[in-house]
Amino acid sequence: MADVAVVGSGPNGLAAAVVMARAGLDVHLYEAGATIGGGTRTSELIQPGYLHDVCSAVHPMAVASPFFKAFELAKRIELLVPEVQHGAPLDVGGAAVAYQSLERTADELGNDGPAYRRLLQPLLERAAGIVDISSYQLLRAPRDPLAALRLGLATLDQGTPFWNRRFREEAAPALLTGVMAHAVSALPSLTATGAGLMLSLLAHAGGWVIPVGGSQSIAKAMADDLVEHAGTIHTGQAVESLHQVRPAKAILLDVAAPALLRLAGSEVPDRYRRALETFRFGNAACKVDYILSEPVPWRDPALAKSGTVHVGGSRTAMAEAENLVAMGKHPSEPYVLASQPSLVDSTRAPAGRRILWTYCHVPAGSDVDMGEAVTARLERYAPGFRDVVVASKTTTAAGLAAYNRNYVGGDFSAGMMNLRGLLRRPVFSTVPWRTPIPGVYLCSSSTSPGPGVTGMPGYNAAKYALKDIFQKRVPGLGLA
């Protein structure tokens, strides 16, 4: 009889399995797909020899997440830091770019550089405390109250309609807004701003790293550790009921919250059932992958050095595009998030070729192909882009939902990213990973702390499963 069954091999399921196996338990991990990884898969999506990240591509939390730091991920795989962490082309000409150095970034932002520095410097000084806040549960009292205060004040500064009061030019606001828009939310908003500020400070701390070989290398590192500690991985094995993995003493589910209803059926108590049935998902993404004959011909050469580019023009234009999505519309000029992994990782494509990873936001469940709209946005800021495209592939929001059951409606965040959605994930609780079903825990991004390749939902769920069922502490990772 297995001690532990983990269902789902995304980064959170793998993290949960690693923790349990290191505690000396017999762990079996079940994955419906042919390969492990979930949101950290890398595949030859278009042509053989070209490695595209299927979902996540750039990983600020790979060096900042408490789990990955304790797991020493940076010693297990090669993580490369571009010269420019992220950038945004501007309608007024030129581009705004963020370096690891906050000083260099501020110096190149013109008249708004000092204002940008004053916003980010207090956060950078308490970076560890801010990462801690974003890694566990928002209902928990912060271990660094000063970090919480500074993040709160900065969020209020940039998360309301008065967000331009400290700026006079286009560059700094566009640089910040491009990062805030990762949250797939109306702008300005407090939740998108909080997430954006954390990612912005990480650009100036550990950097927005890109793993050599693709995001799959993160999943492989965790899988290797699991097997090293006698864990067993079952691929191509869909779990449709908890009965399939019983009599395991602990069951950890890396699934979207409502999937527990399908897996557990009548075992779900009425009150918890209602919470799962009313759990809300957010809007979605339409992803466009490219094979290129040469680098993107950005009008501003600084963007050719940037691992990530937020294509949307001004702060106002990006907000307008995101607010149209929030109203259920498809913007004709969408905000586009682009990753250029070939900039630092030559393993992604044959010599002389490049790959480009992009997506734009769309309403939940959309089956609209935004490939032409994305290409047009890139062409606007990189004249001649169409001429370097060898091949492309669009995955609609409906396609993302079909690829991964956790991406309900194409929502790769596995849950609404507003304040209620962050606090009620999936229920209001200081221990949201526990379910009322004995021995069953949720460990997906539908639980705290939410989306991102952090491993923390899996770590948190495993910590409580060890405590509740096996009377054990987390072994050898040194986390609280």
Quick one: CA dihedral 296, 300, 305, 307, positive or negative?
A: negative
pLDDT of 479 reads 59
Any idea which residue has 């560059």 for tokens? Answer: 171
Q: What is the pLDDT of residues 185-207, one digit of tens each?
A: 999 999 999 999 999 999 999 99
AA identity, residue 318: M
pLDDT of 339 reads 98
- In terms of Cβ atoms closer than 10 Å to its own Cβ (0-12, 13-18, 19+), residue 280 is middle
Length of the chain: 480
DSSP string, 339-402: E-GGGT-GGGSSTT-EEEEEEEEE-TT-----HHHHHHHHHHHSTTHHHHEEEEEEE-HHHHHH
Token couple for 329: 């519309």
pTM of the entire predicted model: 0.95
Crossing angle of helices 11-22 and 216-228, rounded to 10°: 20
Q: How far apart are CA 347 and CA 54, in angstroms?
A: 16
Q: Which helix (H) or strand (E) holds 305?
A: none
| 5 CB neighbour count, 10 Å cutoff | 27
Q: What is the pLDDT of residues 323-381, one digit of tens each?
A: 999 999 999 999 999 999 999 999 999 999 999 999 999 999 999 999 999 999 999 99
Q: Are 206 and 64 in contact (CB under 8 A)?
A: yes
Structural domains for the chain: 4-40+214-279+415-470 (3.50.50.60), 76-210+283-403 (3.90.660)
pLDDT < 50 positions in the chain? none
Token couple for 189: 């908003």
For the chain, give the longest Cα–Cα distance: 66
pLDDT of 49 reads 97
